[in-house]
Amino acid sequence: EPEVTQTPSHQVTQMGQEVILRCVPISNHLYFYWYRQILGQKVEFLVSFYNNEISEKSEIFDDQFSVERPDGSNFTLKIRSTKLEDSAMYFCASSRTGYSTDTQYFGPGTRLTVL
């Protein structure tokens, strides 16, 4: 069964450093998402992406964040200058369509630790 993959599984970085989290969505999917989950808290939507453009972003997704689909398979989340409060699990998801009858498939997540 096709699945969403994410690398690395765990990333440790120093405050102020740039990080890039990588995701390989399911191959025939067209809509891509990033969510994050701070330890012990809810899963929060960050951004959705379709046709090489951001479709929607949350208040969390400020100028420090960017997303990109650099080639036909990868989908990346970049945090330019990490803060302590960026420490969280980051989940990538994809769906074939963006319709509310469709399913989002999630990756296993990248645990980001900012020291």
Chain residues binding another protein by CB under 8 A are: 4, 31, 33, 35, 42-45, 48, 50, 55-56, 91, 93, 97-101, 103-109
Q: Which is nearer to another protein, 19 or 46 (CB)?
A: 46
Query: Whole-angstrom distance between the N-terminal and C-terminal Cα of the chain?
Result: 37
**Which of residues 40 and 72 has its CB atom nearest to another protein in the complex?**
40
Nearer of residues 5 and 73 to another protein, judged by Cβ: 5
Please confirm whether the linkage preceding 8 is cis (ω < 30° from 0): yes
Cα–Cα distance measured from residue 29 to residue 5, given in angstroms and rounded to the nearest whole number: 13
CB of 115 to another protein, least distance (A): 21
Minimum Å gap between C-beta 33 and another protein is: 7
- The whole-angstrom separation of Cα 115 and Cα 89 is 15
d(Cα 93, Cα 95) in Å, to the nearest integer? 7
